[in-house]
Amino acid sequence: MSPPEPDDTTPLLRDDASSDGSQDGDYRSRWRSIRVMYFTMFLSSVGFTIVITSLWPYLEKVDSGADASFLGWMVAAYSLGQMVASPLFGWWSNHRPRREPLVCSIFINLAANIYYAYAYLPKTNNKYHLLMSRAFVGFGAGNVAVVRSYVAGATSLRERTGAMANMSACQALGFILGPALQAGLTFIGEEGITVDVIKLQLSMYTTPALLAALFGLINILLVVLVLKEHRVDEDGKQIQAINYTSEDRVNIEEDELSIDQVAVLISNILFFTVMFIFAVFETIATPLSMDMFSWTRKEAVLYNGIIMCAIGFESILVFLAVKAASQRFGDRPVLLAGFAVIFCGFIVLLPWGNHYPKIQWADLKNNTLVGEVSKAALASNNTFEPTGCPYEQTWCQYIPAIHLAQYISSDILIGVGYPACNVMSYTLYSKILGPKPQGVYMGWLTASGSGARTLGPVFVSHVYTLLGPRWAFSLICSMVLAAIILLTSSYRKLVAFSERHRRIVE
């Protein structure tokens, strides 16, 4: 008796392995391996988000010459590294056991997090050391392509949406835990304690990166000890692993020729848009809140960490809803609805009214800050941290401030739209590719997302710094609207491989 297939009623992360019909060894081994891939995706998300809310204050602390524009490059470095690595690891996974690229990539990620923790140590150019460390963390995160291709190849067509939603839920858990850990570690403080033997300063900025390195070590052990190679057809039947003989290569090339390349291109464009939008959102959150709400560095890390955690919990609920909604309405309508909600989220964020942000005015003659704090207070408190919108950002004087209620409302809407678009984008993509090794194609999809996460932070940090939030968020709204038009116009092309060939035969 074959094991029962998960459906929309299957609880999150459950593979039905506890039921009588699912005691088959291959079936249980397959789902154990898939859960290892879930954990790997979870850690990839943690590796990015565990420092994202503290990246700007850490950068300011270790290198006072850095500005908000360099922050864009800092965030983009992660994605640039991932963009370069994803096709390489994807190609590697198509030709060799997936354990090899996974262990290699996780080790790179682990070492890069340690490098990040020591970036304060050099006497000069600290910001460039931070930049390089984040690029290497991103390079290690290129294994996401391997993870997605493994799950796509190890699930039937019916299991695919649920498995992809589960994987996205694990990614969301990492999204929750990363900022939560960072917020929880703020009690250590900016100075923390120093371990002289290894010249390591354990602070609220370095400890999260070291924790991410420890998670990476656990991940390597799981991949080595638990992961097995599994591949099934679209009906869920176990098929023999490809040995890449000349006959196998011909079959793969024939499959590739039958894939709708236009649909593949459109899917990559849509995924690029989804990731660009969220990269903009996560990059601008800390500097925007510091400018608009006059939060200190520590407050910005703590409050944004709490907000990110809330968005993560919201995302898990969305993933549960997506599994049911996709079963009832299909993948494409859910994707379209997700884009519409994101559009509303950025519309809400547009500034309005006659309330303006507090500005860090400078007394150029005395080279001191004035405003809400007296010069006497400055003289008596050398640790005073100016808050508000930097006076160099001239738009602060004539662009209305964004209200906290707007910021929270936008977070809620984007927290609904982004996860729906994210999981539907690569679920639909994996179905378009059909029953073939998807390592390289998933590598290109991940690379397109990484390209978006490279350009998004650079775009928003420059536009926001020079022109302010009104221009930045208006351009994002235009981009989301263009994606909605593209999806609507290509609606009939974005179908599963088997569905497309059924149409051709008919």
Q: What is the mean pLDDT of the chain?
A: 78
**What are the tens digits of pLDDT across the range 61-71?**
887 777 767 87
Cα–Cα distance for residue pair 117/133, rounded to 1 Å? 9
**What are the tens digits of pLDDT across the range 11-53?**
444 444 443 344 467 788 888 888 899 988 888 888 777 887 7
pLDDT at 503: 64
Q: Which of 146-155, 160-169, 281-290, 431-440 has the lowest mean pLDDT?
A: 431-440
pLDDT at 111: 93
**What are the tens digits of pLDDT across the range 311-342?**
878 887 887 888 788 888 888 899 999 999 99
pTM of the model: 0.68
Would you state the structure tokens that stand for residue 276, as one six-digit string? 């660009």
pLDDT at 251: 47
Each domain of the chain, given as residue ranges in start order, spans: 20-356+399-505
**What are the tens digits of pLDDT across the range 121-144?**
887 788 888 889 999 998 998 888
Q: Which of 420-434, 435-449, 485-499 has the lowest mean pLDDT?
A: 435-449
pLDDT at 245: 45
Residues β-bridged to residue 195: 200
Cα–Cα distance for residue pair 111/116, rounded to 1 Å? 9
pLDDT at 254: 46
**What are the tens digits of pLDDT across the range 283-319?**
788 888 888 888 887 788 788 878 877 887 888 788 7
Q: What is the DSSP pairing of strand 193-195 with strand 200-202?
A: antiparallel
Residue 2 reports pLDDT greater than 80: no
The third-level CATH classification (topology) of the domain covering 20-356+399-505 is Growth Hormone; Chain: A; (1.20.1250)
Name the residue among 86, 106, 101, 91 with its Cα closest to residue 443. Answer: 86
**Whether the Cβ atoms of residue 405 and residue 412 lie closer than 8 Å to each other:** no
Q: How distant is the alpha carbon of residue 445 from its chain centre?
A: 13
pLDDT at 437: 65
